[in-house]
Amino acid sequence: MKLFFRDQLPLIGFYLLQMLIVPSVYWLSGEARPIRIVLYGMLISTVIFVVYLIVRYAQLHHVYRALQKPNDLVR
């Protein structure tokens, strides 16, 4: 699982940057959005992102397990 998170680190970093930028854009635009709506959007986005990571790990877990044991690959 450690290899999976290391592999997904750029995506996770980009997602966190996005979660900082979107509320900042609302604030800088002067648009009066209630903070609850912004937080609700961030929550929905986070849930979708976590589900994506779970599905992606389920698809690739056998690859990461094989990479942890490189001697088993050379047979």
The domain locations on the chain are 2-73
Say yes or no to pLDDT of 72 above 90: no
Distance between CA atoms of residues 53 and 5, nearest Å:
9
Could you report the per-residue pLDDT of 40-68, keeping only the tens digit for each?
A: 989 999 999 999 999 999 999 888 888 87
How many Cβ atoms from other residues are within 10 Å of residue 19's Cβ? 15
pTM beyond 0.85: the answer is no
